[in-house]
Structure 1
């Protein structure tokens, strides 16, 4: 399958409670099980927690999710199937999430990212995110996190 046909076969949807198993499976494969079942159930059930999934048939290839707090989207997770990385899928779901959040009134977006995750840092920079600080010892392993911010009106068309 060529790239054009591959991309044409993909479809974006809003994540919903019926996507629980697919989210759990992708989380495990991509992030090593960042969230447990109860956390995913909450994420998928709350109206102020928008999420977007990119599917090929019944397989969830990528997702992005966040929390809306007043006029800010706090991006909580971006995950791409390890076998599907470096194809622009993370960018697709993240842009879709940012657009959805903007339609729901968000003016800004923020996230935390490991400085060692160079692919994620590069993705966020392409979309216009900028460093705003560091959270010391943020991750379970004691690693720091970069705090990144984006004013949605400044989003790059990457």
Structure 2
């Protein structure tokens, strides 16, 4: 919850995190240093598609490749469990996240207008996983 507040301004409630960490079909990976959680990536595997639900890195540890490591680990875990593609929504004005996803091969396939509570649009990102 503390990392969620620092990195995502309290994206999810405690109940939402409980679901994310315990429900079948949910995948979560974390990046730790000792006892400190530096970042996480989570998704929901539905048949052969991974829907990435959250990816965050502690603000003090950004720009060191942590986001890419987390994303690749989540994609690898999903692929090992049968995923053939991955998708996510990202704020249209989040240049850092868009660059991260583009570096991993994601492409923009659509837009969700006013997707976020503050009125920002989201871009739909898509990736075909290698067979």
TM-score normalised according to structure 1 size: 0.81
- Residue from 65, 77, 88 that aligns with 2:65: 88
**Match in the other structure for 1:101:** 78
Deviation at 1:115, TM superposition (A): 1.7
**Match in the other structure for 1:76:** 53
Q: After TM superposition, where is structure 1 displaced by more than 3 Å over at least 4 residues in a row? A: none
Q: Are 2:96 and 1:119 equivalent residues in the alignment?
A: yes
Deviation at 1:116, TM superposition (A): 1.0
- Residue from 106, 109, 113 that aligns with 1:132: 109
Counterparts in 2 of 1:32-43, with a 5 A limit?
Answer: 32-43=9-20
Counterpart-to-counterpart distance in 1, 2:81 and 2:29:
14
Partner SS for 1:66: strand
Counterpart-to-counterpart distance in 1, 2:99 and 2:22:
31
Question: What are structure 1's unaligned runs of at least 5 residues?
Answer: 1-23
> Between Structure 1 and Structure 2, whose CA radius of gyration is higher?
1
Counterpart-to-counterpart distance in 1, 2:72 and 2:54:
13
**Match in the other structure for 1:56:** 33
Counterpart-to-counterpart distance in 1, 2:24 and 2:42:
12
Deviation at 1:25, TM superposition (A): 1.1
Name the one with the larger helix percent. Answer: 1
Question: What are structure 2's unaligned runs of at least 5 residues?
Answer: none
Counterpart-to-counterpart distance in 1, 2:114 and 2:130:
31
CA RMSD after TM alignment: 0.9
Counterpart-to-counterpart distance in 2, 1:148 and 1:27:
22
Deviations 1:8-38 (A, max 9, x none): xxxxxxxxxxxxxxxx111110000000000
